[in-house]
Amino acid sequence: MKITPILTQLREQCPTLGQRVAAGFDLATLQAEAPLQTPCAYVLPTADIASKNAAQNVTLQAVRDRFDAVLVLDATDATKALDLLHDLRAELWRALVGFKPGAEYTGVEYDGSELVSINSSRVLYRLRFFAEFQLGRNLASQPAESWHERELDGLSSFTGATVRVDAIDPADPNLKRPGPDGRVELTFSGDVTP
């Protein structure tokens, strides 16, 4: 998942953060001193989880892209920091839950949160989110998303077929057992026009 749409959404929809939203974070640095003025948020992709392929002859997998938003708050007044944390958590939900980070994604969903660390100067609180997309195209006219689709795109187009039928019945009395006798009883063709 591209991180830029998430950063833009948080900068535009979270007034309490006042544009103080950046990508990535180094936990040790944030615990000592945040590069941005507090309160601020750092966003980073954390993992993707793919389901098993749902089809036998094409690629069709649901992929869950996970990302974290880490809030950094001033903890000199712990009560004030924890109250602000409650308000900021709700602000992040309003900004992200249901937001689509790209045309191929479902809306973002909330996946829980946890306290990362707290000391006399900083509170770090992680909120986990995810959005899903499908790996594997829906239409042959869409660009290939897997090796199998690229391989299929390289095949020549199907233009038609000719079928020759050697029927089992009526059975040839000269054969010891009934079955196809090698004589074609029926031939037909079909052309495919796109």
Q: Render pLDDT for 174-189 as a digit per residue (tens, 0 to 9).
A: 666 666 667 788 899 8
Which residue, 105, 108, 107, is CA-closest to 69? 108
Task: Report pLDDT for 114.
Answer: 94
Q: Which domains does the chain have, with CATH numbers?
A: 4-135 (3.30.2000.10), 156-191 (no CATH)
Q: Which of 72-81, 150-159, 164-173 has the highest mean pLDDT?
A: 72-81
How many residues would you count in the chain?
194
Task: Report pLDDT for 175.
Answer: 65
Residue whose pair of structure tokens reads 């077929």 in the numeric block = 161
Task: Report pLDDT for 170.
Answer: 62
* Separation of alpha carbons 127 and 92, rounded Å: 9
